Amino acid sequence: MATQASRAAARAMLSPAVVLLLIWMIVPLAMTLWFSFQRYNLLYPDRAGFIGFGNYINFVATSGFWEAIVNTLLLVGGVLAITVIGGILIALLIDQPIWGQGPVRILVISPFFIMPPVAALIWKNMFMNPSNGLFAEAARFLGLPPFDFLGQAPLASIVLIVAWQWLPFATLILLTALQSLDSERMEAAEMDGAGPFARFWFIALPHLARAITVVILIQTIFLLGIFGEILVTTNGGPGNASTTLTYLVYKEALLDFDAGTAAAGGVVAVILANIVALFLMRAIGRNLDA
Amino acid sequence: MGRITLEGVAKRFGEAEVIPPLDLDIPDGSFCVFVGPSGCGKSTLLRLIAGLEDTSAGRILIDGQDATRVPPAKRGLAMVFQSYALYPHMSVRANIAFPLRMAGMAREERDRRVEEAARVLNLTPYLDRRPGQLSGGQRQRVAIGRAIVREPKAFLFDEPLSNLDAALRVGMRIEITELHERLRTTMIYVTHDQVEAMTMADRIVVLNAGKIEQVGSPLELYREPRNRFVAGFIGSPRMNFIEGAEAARHGAHAIGIRPEHVTPHPSSGDWKGVVGVAEHLGSDTFLHVHDTGLAETITVRAEGEIGLNPGDTVYLTPQPDRIHRFAANGDRL
Ligand SMILES: Nc1ncnc2c1ncn2[C@@H]1O[C@H](COP(=O)(O)OP(=O)(O)OP(=O)(O)O)[C@@H](O)[C@H]1O
Ligand SMILES: [Mg+2]
């Protein structure tokens, strides 16, 4: 964008997209904000009107609100930890010249092509089911009592399922970053006396910092909204053990038909997302500067 | 100490034999330059010595010890790469200190050596910068600094100057030569620039398709090239080769004469031709002479300005004692 003319042209070209996006985002946000200050329960359509922060007080007072926040953060944090660490390990592995590299790479990214609820159902019914699941079968083979994953450790199980889905994304981004590492730099480190671990720690990992940041930021955006996997596996239960903020909003809106409180919940979720984003940008955002 | 001996060293990549078995002895303290055209295996040979590639056959001795299976870090050699291969996220100080840190050296000793290397290489003001904030020449010096702090037995350079502009290249050439004068450590230097080879080396190894064509001092190679390949590769502009009747008159399949050993004259001489292009460098003029009936073009160096222009007729006289004679297989007669 060097000249005045090209800058003006760029703005003109961009404006339809910007306007569309603006409407797309502003209208739902404005409606959510509007409803969050209204008494609006689908079961009692006659009791309408402005109630100030009543919905917010309602939502925060819902049983399981704080638990939902903690669960949301645990879900996001757990999946990030598994995908980033696992992604680095797998990327290091499939970056090696191995026989059958092409098919292996395609296999590694394939979980990403499976629709989230389908993936979750497969995990629930074919792997984690305590009576017919593969894990139960394996446990029985080893002479151990089968473990009821979704009953005993619901949140951890969901973390596992979601992490499995997002691992390919992390692996792919980290693999491309790893491949852009100059081989002469690794050889220089080798000549300088750095062993494999030192080379990873001092050379490869700093090189991956930017890719790791991208993975964390993009995944956080999507992980805060995880819903389908919870719906088809645990329904947020047992109790509130796997209810996240998103799922709590769903419960308010579509199980209790309280649109007002659900809207307030939506706004709380937006605020939480912004807090997380702010925190992340503070912590790792400088990695994105060239 | 840093004497490097190759005994029957060969390298194959799959089916392709990049380096046929070769023997080479590089004495301690020498400045040895590998030259040859692109793709002739210079880098491969250097990487074999460094240990970054495994040999397919033969032995590599460092100070008489068999180092063929010794990992690169344990060979006591330091390498400077064409791309510098600096660590971009570390300061210049940390870059230079990295090998010492990997060796587990104490902090004070490390700092002392880094300061010393920075002083020698004029890098002191830049110690706290990142490599990305340095010019090409400064980066090159950091890479050299990282090599010298280790006090290696020998330095290996792979085309270290090829990313620099012409003026800087001349400057760095002199700096590296001075560094060698001061340290007296063996240096092996790869280049495809024969001017670098001639000016820096005390021994030149001319490679062609992985084979050693000749080893010798720069002037030996210039005065007595063993074959046509070396004769054509060493010296700039290239030696003129003449075949046919004129060569037969000298009892050879081909004769070679360097441009600086032919005297042009406007009216009398042995060979008659027409000036094609005249390149005026100020101190010298290079004439490209056509239509001599001997070779397509004969290049001639004339000192200073001479009054010959394109299209003029010119007479050339070679200095008889500077004529090189070659057999049909290219060997010197
Ligand atoms: N890893 C490899 N696998 C297969 N062939 C290789 C490999 N590395 C180098 N070669 C081949 O070996 C030959 C010598 O390569 P090398 O890099 O040593 O050339 P060079 O003399 O350094 O050339 P340049 O001056 O262009 O750097 C080339 O023909 C190249 O194609
Ligand atoms: Mg090379």
DSSP A226-289: --HHHHHHTTT-STTTT--HHHHHHIIIIIS-BHHHHHHHHHHHHHHHHHHHHHHHHHHGGGG-
Peptide bond before residue A238 is cis, with ω within 30 degrees of 0 = yes
The atom of ligand 1 lying closest to the CA of B46 is 18
Q: pLDDT confidence of B114, banded at 50, 70, 90?
A: very high
Specify whether the CB–CB gap between B49 and B196 falls below 8 A.
no
Task: Give yes or no: residues B204 and B277 share one domain.
Answer: no
Q: Examine the pLDDT at B50 and tell me if it is beyond 60.
A: yes
- Count up the domains in chain B and report the number: 2
Stretch A150-156: mean pLDDT: 83
Residue B332 forms part of a structural domain: no
Contacts of B149 in chain A (CB under 8 A): none
Task: Give yes or no: residues B206 and B244 share one domain.
Answer: no
Q: Which CATH superfamily is domain A58-289 in?
A: MetI-like (1.10.3720.10)
Task: Give yes or no: residues B256 and B273 share one domain.
Answer: yes
Contacts of A198 in chain B (CB under 8 A): 102
Q: Examine the pLDDT at B251 and tell me if it is beyond 60.
A: yes
Residues 127-186 (B) with a CB less than 8 A from some CB of A: 146, 150
Please state, for a pLDDT cut of 90, what percent of chain B lies above it: 49
A183: closest CA of chain B, how far (Å)? 9
Q: pLDDT confidence of B46, banded at 50, 70, 90?
A: very high
Task: Give yes or no: residues B218 and B247 share one domain.
Answer: no
Residue B291: domain span: 240-326
pLDDT at A65: 84
Q: pLDDT confidence of A1, banded at 50, 70, 90?
A: low
Q: pLDDT confidence of A82, banded at 50, 70, 90?
A: very high
Q: pLDDT confidence of A20, banded at 50, 70, 90?
A: very high
Q: Examine the pLDDT at B318 and tell me if it is beyond 60.
A: yes
pLDDT at A290: 56
pLDDT at A61: 80
pLDDT tens digits for B198-224? 999 999 999 998 899 999 999 999 999
Q: pLDDT confidence of B47, banded at 50, 70, 90?
A: very high
Please state, for a pLDDT cut of 70, what percent of chain B lies above it: 100
pLDDT tens digits for A257-288? 778 888 888 888 888 888 888 888 888 877 77
Q: Examine the pLDDT at A224 and tell me if it is beyond 60.
A: yes
Task: Select the residue from A191, A199, A203, A208 to test the B interface by mutation, using most B Cβ atoms within 10 A.
Answer: A191
Q: Which of B190, B216, B232 is the endpoint of a domain?
A: B232
Q: Which protein residues are within 6 Å of ligand 1, measured from CB?
A: B 13, 16, 18, 36, 38-44, 192
Q: Which of B232, B257, B290 is the endpoint of a domain?
A: B232
Q: How many whole angstroms separate alpha carbon B140 and alpha carbon B146?
A: 10
> Is any Cβ of chain A less than 8 angstroms from the Cβ of B89?
yes
Instruction: Select the more confidently predicted residue: A223 or A105.
Output: A223
Shortest CA distance from B149: residue in chain A: A192
> Is any Cβ of chain A less than 8 angstroms from the Cβ of B102?
yes
B52–A202 C-beta distance less than 8 A: no
> Is any Cβ of chain A less than 8 angstroms from the Cβ of B277?
no
Nearest CA residue ID for atom 1, ligand 1: B13
pLDDT at B257: 93
ipTM above 0.85, yes or no: no
Task: Give yes or no: residues B222 and B255 share one domain.
Answer: no
pLDDT at B79: 92
Whole-angstrom CA distances from A137 to A122, A143, A146, B6, B49 are 15, 10, 8, 61, 56
Q: Where are the alpha helices (DSSP H) in chain A?
A: 4-36, 54-61, 65-95, 101-109, 116-122, 134-141, 149-152, 154-179, 183-191, 196-199, 205-223, 228-233, 245-250, 259-284
Task: Give yes or no: residues B155 and B267 share one domain.
Answer: no
pLDDT tens digits for B281-292? 888 889 999 888
What CATH number has the domain bearing residue B289?
2.40.50.140
Q: pLDDT confidence of A242, banded at 50, 70, 90?
A: confident
Stretch B262-272: mean pLDDT: 88
pLDDT at B256: 92
Contacts of A206 in chain B (CB under 8 A): 87, 89
Please, what is the Cα angle at B247 between B246 and B249, to 5 degrees? 65
Stretch B68-93: mean pLDDT: 90
Non-local CB neighbours of B202 within 8 Å, separated by 6+ positions: B30, B31, B32, B217, B218
Which range has the worst mean pLDDT, A3-12, A129-138, A165-174, A177-186? A129-138
Q: Examine the pLDDT at B132 and tell me if it is beyond 70.
A: yes
Shortest CA distance from A182: residue in chain B: B85
pLDDT at B34: 94
Stretch A8-35: mean pLDDT: 89
Distance of CA B38 from the midpoint of ligand 1 (Å) = 8
Q: Which of B204, B232, B260 is the endpoint of a domain?
A: B232
> Is any Cβ of chain A less than 8 angstroms from the Cβ of B79?
yes
Shortest CA distance from A187: residue in chain B: B52
Which range has the worst mean pLDDT, A85-89, A131-135, B36-40? A131-135
The dihedral through the CA atoms of B58, B63, B64, B70 has a sign that is negative
**Both tokens of residue A157?**
């199980």
Residue B86 forms part of a structural domain: yes
Q: Where are the alpha helices (DSSP H) in B214-314?
A: 218-223, 228-233, 245-249
Task: Give yes or no: residues B196 and B62 share one domain.
Answer: yes
Task: Give yes or no: residues B40 and B130 share one domain.
Answer: yes
Contacts of A210 in chain B (CB under 8 A): none
Stretch A62-75: mean pLDDT: 88
Task: Give yes or no: residues B78 and B178 share one domain.
Answer: yes
Distance of CA B43 from the midpoint of ligand 2 (Å) = 4
What strands, in cross-sheet order, belong to the sheet with B298-303? B262-265, B313-318, B271-280, B284-290, B298-303
Nearest to A123 by CA among A158, A88, A93, A92: A158
Out of B78, B102, B150, name the one closest to residue A194 (CB).
B102
- Tokens 């890479």 — which residue? B143
Contacts of B89 in chain A (CB under 8 A): 206-207, 209
> Is any Cβ of chain A less than 8 angstroms from the Cβ of B105?
no
Task: Give yes or no: residues B68 and B23 share one domain.
Answer: yes
Task: Give yes or no: residues B205 and B254 share one domain.
Answer: no
Residue B216 forms part of a structural domain: yes
Domain ranges of chain A: 58-289
Task: Give yes or no: residues B80 and B217 share one domain.
Answer: yes
Stretch B259-286: mean pLDDT: 88
pTM, two decimals, is 0.80
pLDDT tens digits for B82-105? 888 999 999 999 999 999 999 888
The atom of ligand 1 lying closest to the CA of B207 is 21
